[in-house]
């Protein structure tokens, strides 16, 4: 999940409450909107090269979409591992025991 925030330039002329209160979202200027957050392990922090919240949202969705697509591509689900054949193992155990039993009774 990425958070969008307006990164005001040093020379930003917007003299608004949101800027003074350092609110993430400010609609009073055209400074670049940045995305910040974690996608997988590395921290994602990057300018979205737009001052438009709608465009920034679109870009964020695209970035998150791509990230989740990569997640799904990860291989080797545990279900694909060959399960131990319990019946065969049982059979082995029983025939072993039978052999031992026979041996024990014949001695």
Token pair of 28, please?
A: 């009073």
Q: Does 7 bind Zn ion (CB under 5 A)?
A: no
- Of 5, 8, 63, 67, the one binding Zn ion by CB under 5 A: 8
Question: Which two structure tokens, joined as six digits, stand for 91?
Answer: 């059979």
Binds Zn ion by CB under 5 A, chosen from 4, 5, 16, 51 = 16
4 belongs to the binding site for Zn ion (CB under 5 A): no
CA torsion 23-29-33-36 (nearest 10°) is -10
CB count within 10 Å of CB 72 equals 6
The residue ranges that bind Zn ion (CB under 5 A) are 8, 12, 14, 16, 18, 26, 28-29, 31
């Amino acid at each position: 999940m990425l958070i969008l925030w307006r990164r005001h330039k040093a020379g930003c002329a917007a003299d608004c409450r949101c800027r003074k209160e350092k609110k993430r979202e400010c609609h009073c200027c055209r400074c670049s909107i940045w995305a910040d957050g974690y996608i997988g392990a590395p921290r994602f922090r990057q300018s979205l090269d737009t001052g438009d919240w709608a465009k920034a949202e679109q870009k964020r969705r695209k970035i998150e979409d791509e990230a989740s697509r990569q997640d799904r591509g990860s291989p080797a689900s545990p279900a694909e591992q060959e399960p131990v054949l319990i019946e065969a193992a049982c059979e082995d155990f029983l025939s072993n025991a039978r052999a031992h039993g026979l041996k024990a009774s014949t001695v």
